[in-house]
């Protein structure tokens, strides 16, 4: 059990290190204690994953267990990356969109996850169109 805890500590340190996004987004937040906010987000995601075109969270299926099971609800049967939509009540609570992307090493393996906090411009409409276009889709 002690070994597992150490690994988790390392993982969250890595998320802190790369907490700004690896792609161009408009004014990504750089929030102190990003890992704590992310843990809260993961906890809420488990209860509130719905099929809505709202806030978009990116993650890597192969890392799902390591990162607190954030893709539990949608990982089965999908390749490397998966888009998960969450409810607008979740977005409103955080007043920010949490974007999570795998960071690939030179061999194409997943090195870590990058986390960015993107301002929520509107509760309604489709504010994430440009963001989706800017993010590479590694699932194809």
Residue pLDDT, tens place only, 11-33: 333 333 333 333 222 223 333 34
pLDDT at 46: 37
pLDDT at 79: 32
In angstroms, rounded to a whole number, what is the distance separating the alpha carbons of residues 19 and 120? Answer: 17
Q: Is residue 136 very low, low, confident or very high in pLDDT (cuts 50, 70, 90)?
A: very low
Specify the pTM.
Answer: 0.23
Q: Is residue 40 very low, low, confident or very high in pLDDT (cuts 50, 70, 90)?
A: low
User: Is residue 140 one of the residues assigned to a domain?
Assistant: no
User: Is residue 139 one of the residues assigned to a domain?
Assistant: no
User: Is residue 10 one of the residues assigned to a domain?
Assistant: yes
132: Cα within 13 Å, side-chain hemisphere:
13
pLDDT at 86: 33
User: Is residue 23 one of the residues assigned to a domain?
Assistant: yes
User: Is residue 98 one of the residues assigned to a domain?
Assistant: yes
User: Is residue 116 one of the residues assigned to a domain?
Assistant: yes
Residue pLDDT, tens place only, 69-109: 333 333 333 333 333 333 333 322 233 345 444 445 566 55
DSSP 8-state code for residue 62: G
Domain enclosing residue 44, as ranges: 2-134
In angstroms, rounded to a whole number, what is the distance separating the alpha carbons of residues 120 and 17? Answer: 23
DSSP per residue over 81-124, as a string?
EEEEEB-HHHHHHHTEEEEEEEEE-TTS-EEEEEEEEEE---SS
Distance (Å) of CA 128 to CA 26, 34, 84, 103, 134: 11, 21, 13, 21, 10
The bridge status of strand 81-85 relative to strand 56-60 is antiparallel
**Residues linked to residue 57 through DSSP beta bridges, in sequence order:** 84
Q: What total of structural domains would you count in the chain?
A: 1
């Amino acid at each position: 059990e002690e070994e597992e805890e150490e690994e988790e500590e390392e993982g969250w340190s890595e998320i802190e290190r790369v907490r700004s996004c690896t792609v161009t987004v408009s004014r990504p937040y750089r929030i102190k204690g990003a890992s704590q906010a992310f843990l809260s987000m993961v906890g809420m995601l488990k209860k509130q994953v719905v099929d809505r075109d709202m806030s978009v969270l990116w993650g890597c299926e192969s890392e799902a267990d390591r990162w607190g099971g954030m893709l539990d609800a949608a990982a089965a049967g999908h390749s490397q990356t998966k888009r998960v939509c969450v409810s607008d009540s979740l977005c409103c609570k955080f007043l920010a969109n949490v974007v999570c992307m795998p960071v690939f090493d030179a061999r194409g393996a997943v090195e870590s996850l990058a986390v960015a906090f993107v301002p929520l411009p509107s509760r309604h409409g489709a504010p994430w169109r440009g963001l989706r276009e800017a993010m590479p889709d590694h699932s194809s």
